[in-house]
Chains A and B, each alone.
Chain A
Amino acid sequence: MILITCPHCGPRDQDEFSYAGDATKTRPADPASATAAEWHSYVYLRDNPAGPHLEFWHHIHGCRRFVKVLRDVTTHEVLACGGPDDPLETPR
């Protein structure tokens, strides 16, 4: 059972969270001028790497904050956790 360290609540079981997907996608900053290709990429395309994956987990049964997690999806090992603005990197 994956253990996610919520920056606000500490380490918690995965079943307190709702998975919210790829954290590398950025919604077009200026929606008015965004192209169809930009929208398409944002809504539909995912790098889906087999390795460290940057993703959001919503602490839905906790503080209800979105936690950014760097996790190796080939092993489920959590490499780093932080807030939405934290640039997470693989610890050395």
Chain B
Amino acid sequence: MILGRIKDVNACRLPTGGEIDRRRALSFTFDGRSYTGYQGDTLASALLANGVTLVGRSFKYHRPRGIFSAGPEEPNALVELRRGGRLEPNTRATMAELFHGLEATSQNRWPSLAFDAMELNDLAGRFLVAGFYYKTFMGFPGWHFYEKRIRAAAGMGRGTNEPDPDSYERMSAHCDVLVVGGGPSGLAAALTAGRSGARVILVEETNGLGGRLRSERETLDSAPAMRWVESVRAELESLPEVRILSRTTAFGYYDDNLIGAVERVADHIVAPAPHVPRQRLWHVRAARVVLATGAIERHIAFTNNDRPGVMLAGAARSYVNRFAVRPGRRAVVVANNDDGYRTALDLKAAGVDVIQVVDPRPPGTSDWRARCDAAGVETVDHAAVTKVHGRLAVIGCEVTRLDGSARSHFEPCDLVAVSGGWSPAVHLHTHALGGIEWNDGLAAFVPGMARQAHVSVGAARGIYGLSDCLTDGFKAGTDAAASAGFATGALPDTPTADAPAERPVRAFWSVGTGKRRFVDLQDDVTVDDIALAHREGFVSVEHLKRYTTLGMGTDQGKTSNIIGHALMAEARGEPIPQVGTTRFRPPYTPVAMGTFAGGDRRRHHTPVRRSAMHDWHADHGAVFVEAGHWLRPQYYLAPDEPDGKASMDAAITREVQSVRNAVGLVDVSTLGKIDIQGPDAGELLNRLYANGFKTLAIGKARYGLMLREDGIVHDDGTTTRLAENHYLMTTTTAHAGDVLAQIEWYLQVVWPDLKAHACSVTEQWSAMALAGPKARAVLADAVDDGTDVSDATLPFMGVTAARIADVPVRIFRISFSGELSYEVNAPADWGPRVWGALMASGQPYGIRPYGTEAMGILRIEKGHVTHAELDGRVTLDDAGMGRMASTKKCFVGSGMLNKPAYVNPARPKLVGLVPADGRTRIPAGSILVEDPDAALPMDKLGHVSSSAYLSPTVGHPIALGFVSGGLARKGETVWAVFPLRGLKIQVRVTEPVFVDPEGERLRG
């Protein structure tokens, strides 16, 4: 008999049974060809139903690969799902629910899946062993040459270059008992916990409850076990405090019992409905966690154990029982545990011709074995499948007695179902720092001591019998609810399961001597690779993993790690627990980046802040720039002015000239404002600021500089004494948050005896600075009731309360621009009204709003520093403000002022810089050097920190910078070099104040 290529639609579908809905046919495409499946299928089951067994290519050797599992552990059947911005590479066909219109494409092959040119790697495989690339590619023409080709060949699926059109969101939940896994143990636990009245969340990875029961022909109390599942689901749904999250994977167990889970809200349909996210990230904080995560079947490494048609035995049962698909016509089953017999019976019941059940264990008896005998299934003991024939699909296999006494060749044979035993899914348990222990009887690691409030139940701790799982679950749910403080009743009676006596599993990891015995299928790690790693001294599991890439694929070695570790233990001659295992880390299964980011995307990614006057600015031609998350007007364009370099320069020039010659108004709401009150508020300020604040009179403002404890300048701003025990501090925009945090630190922790409180009022006040020679006239016109704002009543650094347009305001006579200037603070919502009133009053005087660019030029002309100068490495002396530091008191940072490096006279200090030729711009970021043509590496004198390409006031470019020796070099010329642009500019060192050095204007 020859098994030809099956072309009929759903040729491998069983006529009855399974969870599929035969009334709802769904059409889908794979590699452009159309197929039909049913509601309830996964992409994998639908492909198998259509006789498609070749679905992918392996990572390194590009070997043909099929469907190996029926769950999240799938190493082989990876496809690109969807297209465009929704393209999802490396999607496990076994986890993708089928929907109408699904599009899938095979990956990592060229030009086609059946003919992949890169399969040449397989022929060259003897040279491409583990770590071969560490030993070569070092000579001519260099690694970069080879790397380009290797990179092109590597990778699996393709990424997209289009943005994802879907949205994501985050959700937080608290509960008393979180149950992870909706299989029998998890359902039992959720039921008893739920009955206690506890808030229970049950998360289940797939689209329905039941776990393995969906894939087995189990019974409970003589009825199909799924009936019990249905009754439990109904009861859980009736309990108001129980929430079931299906299609949800708990992927990580974090500190203090917080579990991260991803809910696939819309992955089973074509696209999310409007306003519905694609996926939802859950933070579940649980008092107790029950881990009912089940177990993962592993395989056995024999020659060509990767060919399409070799499949985990449990998966074969899933396909026939849950999906009503026959994964092959003639099968050999090999298993080191009784699941082989169970599988053979299920396959036979589905009409598969079971050639033989091969059991590597020595002869023995069990109920399962007896059932096979009774059903007429041929069995053989102490033997194994040693080789599979076929390339694109299994066409035959060889079975060899382990004592070498006999060998059988079976052909045709298109399915080899394999079980190497089960490994409890201890991933979450170990994320939570739980220990694991080797259990020889189970040939598996099982959970050891838990470190957080969690317990593993059922198969997740190596209990495999259905009744035992239910009993374990009932008890765990009860215990969890009780320890969360809920009264629990007696444990329910465990329904009776069909429980044939089983023989224990016997460790059996690999067989034979062939080259192509795969341990890790996805990454093509063979038994020989493990031996090579051992030979070369990569004998720890960590070295093994990193050297051979064992377990580094998208499946993270769920079916294979333990095989590799066991083979290494064998090679080392040590028991498995001594060799150990690698650490499991989140996520349990891969999670999309978008899911982690949630709603924190696009304009919601760190929301923009706007001042109360924002709309006015926008209406008046403002071009905005972002500064510390605030949108600030950069400059204002006239109504018909197009944006561009020339208009920008023109706008900035007219704004600067307005302020210097008439009057301007700027929005400074973004500056930090901290209200400080209390009898010791003055003392607090005196300790915080480097300059004295003891003598500040009521109604007066003072400029202050704050250091860090290490003696470096932290921030500057003005602080005003509003009343005896009431101060208002301003900070720079950037440091508003951390200055407040610092003040709170000193008040609460360092000087708790000080009676003072501090509170941010940045958002409570709109602030605007009215600056220019006409500022007083404008202000006098603007204030209500003729409030006196003359120099006598409101002198420089004075403050007064007044009303403008009926709004109570504070007016501070402080100046950043160097002009006569008033900073007006109004209650935030009333800012636009006051702003409008000032603009109206200023109309006759030629008032103009100005933006951050003009403000920058004005302050550079005046030599005022900002964060460009105070970059966290600058001392008071460096910034030319050393004399401000009080010598009469201690203050934050005063303990460190005299470090040798801080008092070195050669330190770069603040200076002004002008081009020697009077016209060349001096870009910020230039480096100051003695000789621009000196050899590299070159000695540096300092750098240019801020630059005004054109100072409208002085008529040529100016800059601020730091130069070694500072003003001792006044009048000297040095070079400002900008090698990134090939610029060398001779500059002259000047005082850092270019306008009104005596301060007559601001005092005028």
A contact set with B: CB distance below 8 Å: 1-3, 14, 18, 20, 27-28, 31-32, 34, 36, 39, 42-44, 56, 58, 60, 64-66, 75-78, 84-85
- A39 in contact with B896 (CB, 8 Å): yes
Task: Pick from B255, B451, B744: contact of A64, CB below 8 A.
Answer: B744
Lowest 5 CB-CB distances: which A-B pairs, in order? Answer: A3-B256, A31-B890, A39-B895, A1-B258, A76-B255
List chain A residues, Cβ under 8 A from B285: 1, 3
CA distance A77 to B749 in the complex (A): 24
Query: Assuming the A-B contacts A65-B748, A66-B745, A75-B451, are A2 and B255 also in contact, with contact meaning beta carbons closer than 8 angstroms in the complex?
Result: yes
CA distance A63 to B451 in the complex (A): 31
List chain B residues, Cβ under 8 A from A32: 890
- B895 in contact with A56 (CB, 8 Å): no
Nearest Cβ on chain B to A58's Cβ, whole angstroms:
6
Nearest Cβ on chain B to A87's Cβ, whole angstroms:
14
Query: Assuming the A-B contacts A31-B894, A34-B895, A39-B896, are A1 and B255 also in contact, with contact meaning beta carbons closer than 8 angstroms in the complex?
Result: yes
List chain A residues, Cβ under 8 A from B741: 18, 58, 60
Query: Assuming the A-B contacts A34-B895, A43-B710, A66-B744, are A56 and B749 also in contact, with contact meaning beta carbons closer than 8 angstroms in the complex?
Result: yes
Extra inter-chain contacts (11) besides given A3-B258, A36-B898, CB under 8 Å = A18-B741, A27-B709, A27-B750, A31-B895, A58-B745, A65-B748, A66-B744, A76-B256, A77-B451, A84-B749, A84-B752
Nearest Cβ on chain A to B765's Cβ, whole angstroms:
19
Is B486 interfacial (CB-CB < 8 Å)? Answer: no
Is B254 interfacial (CB-CB < 8 Å)? Answer: yes
Nearest Cβ on chain B to A41's Cβ, whole angstroms:
11
Query: Assuming the A-B contacts A32-B890, A58-B744, are A1 and B752 also in contact, with contact meaning beta carbons closer than 8 angstroms in the complex?
Result: no
Query: Assuming the A-B contacts A34-B895, A42-B709, A66-B744, are A85 and B752 also in contact, with contact meaning beta carbons closer than 8 angstroms in the complex?
Result: yes
**Which chain B residues in 737-765 approach chain A with CB under 8 Å?**
741, 744-745, 748-750, 752
List chain A residues, Cβ under 8 A from B896: 39, 43
Q: Which of A1, A14, A75, A78 has the largest count of B CB atoms less than 10 A from its CB?
A: A1
List chain B residues, Cβ under 8 A from A3: 255-258, 285
CA distance A17 to B748 in the complex (A): 16
- A78 in contact with B256 (CB, 8 Å): yes
Chain B interface residue count, Cβ-Cβ cutoff 8 angstroms: 23
CA distance A77 to B453 in the complex (A): 12
Nearest Cβ on chain A to B550's Cβ, whole angstroms:
28
Closest to A68 in B: B749
Task: Pick from A1, A43, A60: contact of B256, CB below 8 A.
Answer: A1
CA distance A3 to B748 in the complex (A): 22
Is B380 interfacial (CB-CB < 8 Å)? Answer: no
Closest to A65 in B: B748
**Which chain B residues in 38-83 approach chain A with CB under 8 Å?**
none
Nearest Cβ on chain B to A40's Cβ, whole angstroms:
8
List chain A residues, Cβ under 8 A from B894: 31
Nearest Cβ on chain B to A20's Cβ, whole angstroms:
7
Closest to A35 in B: B895
CA distance A65 to B741 in the complex (A): 10
Task: Pick from B255, B749, B898: contact of A66, CB below 8 A.
Answer: B749
CA distance A28 to B256 in the complex (A): 36
Closest to A27 in B: B750
Task: Pick from B255, B258, B709: contact of A43, CB below 8 A.
Answer: B709
Nearest Cβ on chain B to A54's Cβ, whole angstroms:
12
Closest to B283 in A: A1
Closest to A14 in B: B255
Nearest Cβ on chain B to A22's Cβ, whole angstroms:
12
Query: Assuming the A-B contacts A1-B283, A3-B255, A65-B748, are A75 and B709 also in contact, with contact meaning beta carbons closer than 8 angstroms in the complex?
Result: no
Is B433 interfacial (CB-CB < 8 Å)? Answer: yes
CA distance A39 to B451 in the complex (A): 40
Nearest Cβ on chain B to A44's Cβ, whole angstroms:
8
- B256 in contact with A2 (CB, 8 Å): yes
Task: Pick from B254, B433, B748: contact of A75, CB below 8 A.
Answer: B433
Q: Which of B254, B283, B744, B894 has the largest count of A CB atoms less than 10 A from its CB?
A: B744
List chain B residues, Cβ under 8 A from A58: 741, 744-745
CA distance A78 to B257 in the complex (A): 12
List chain B residues, Cβ under 8 A from A60: 741
Closest to B750 in A: A27
CA distance A85 to B258 in the complex (A): 30
List chain B residues, Cβ under 8 A from A44: 710
Closest to A66 in B: B748
A sample of 26 inter-chain contacts (CB < 8 A) reads A1-B254, A1-B255, A1-B283, A1-B285, A2-B255, A3-B255, A14-B255, A18-B741, A27-B750, A31-B890, A32-B890, A34-B895, A36-B898, A39-B709, A39-B895, A43-B709, A43-B896, A44-B710, A58-B741, A58-B745, A64-B744, A65-B748, A75-B451, A78-B256, A84-B749, A85-B752
Nearest Cβ on chain B to A71's Cβ, whole angstroms:
10
CA distance A32 to B886 in the complex (A): 13
List chain A residues, Cβ under 8 A from B257: 3
Nearest Cβ on chain A to B442's Cβ, whole angstroms:
28
CA distance A34 to B896 in the complex (A): 11
**Which chain B residues in 891-946 approach chain A with CB under 8 Å?**
894-896, 898
List chain B residues, Cβ under 8 A from A28: 895
Nearest Cβ on chain B to A51's Cβ, whole angstroms:
15
List chain B residues, Cβ under 8 A from A65: 748
Nearest Cβ on chain B to A85's Cβ, whole angstroms:
7
List chain B residues, Cβ under 8 A from A34: 895
Nearest Cβ on chain A to B746's Cβ, whole angstroms:
9
CA distance A32 to B536 in the complex (A): 63
Nearest Cβ on chain A to B752's Cβ, whole angstroms:
7
CA distance A28 to B433 in the complex (A): 40
List chain B residues, Cβ under 8 A from A78: 256
Closest to B710 in A: A43
Q: Which of A39, A44, A78 has the largest count of B CB atoms less than 10 A from its CB?
A: A39
Q: Which of B283, B894, B895 has the largest count of A CB atoms less than 10 A from its CB?
A: B895
Nearest Cβ on chain B to A31's Cβ, whole angstroms:
4
CA distance A76 to B835 in the complex (A): 52
CA distance A56 to B748 in the complex (A): 11
CA distance A23 to B669 in the complex (A): 36
CA distance A83 to B862 in the complex (A): 46
CA distance A20 to B749 in the complex (A): 11
Nearest Cβ on chain B to A34's Cβ, whole angstroms:
6
CA distance A85 to B90 in the complex (A): 54
CA distance A15 to B839 in the complex (A): 43
List chain A residues, Cβ under 8 A from B283: 1
List chain A residues, Cβ under 8 A from B890: 31-32
List chain B residues, Cβ under 8 A from A84: 748-749, 752
List chain B residues, Cβ under 8 A from A85: 752
CA distance A3 to B104 in the complex (A): 43
**Which chain B residues in 831-857 approach chain A with CB under 8 Å?**
none
Closest to B891 in A: A31
Nearest Cβ on chain A to B692's Cβ, whole angstroms:
15
**Which chain B residues in 259-314 approach chain A with CB under 8 Å?**
283, 285
List chain B residues, Cβ under 8 A from A39: 709, 895-896
List chain A residues, Cβ under 8 A from B255: 1-3, 14, 76-77
CA distance A39 to B257 in the complex (A): 40
Nearest Cβ on chain B to A78's Cβ, whole angstroms:
7
Nearest Cβ on chain A to B251's Cβ, whole angstroms:
14
Closest to A40 in B: B896
List chain A residues, Cβ under 8 A from B898: 36
List chain B residues, Cβ under 8 A from A43: 709-710, 895-896
CA distance A84 to B741 in the complex (A): 15
Nearest Cβ on chain B to A15's Cβ, whole angstroms:
10
CA distance A85 to B709 in the complex (A): 22
List chain A residues, Cβ under 8 A from B451: 75, 77
List chain A residues, Cβ under 8 A from B748: 65-66, 84
List chain B residues, Cβ under 8 A from A66: 744-745, 748-749
Nearest Cβ on chain B to A5's Cβ, whole angstroms:
10
CA distance A28 to B745 in the complex (A): 15
List chain A residues, Cβ under 8 A from B750: 27
CA distance A3 to B256 in the complex (A): 6
List chain B residues, Cβ under 8 A from A76: 255-256
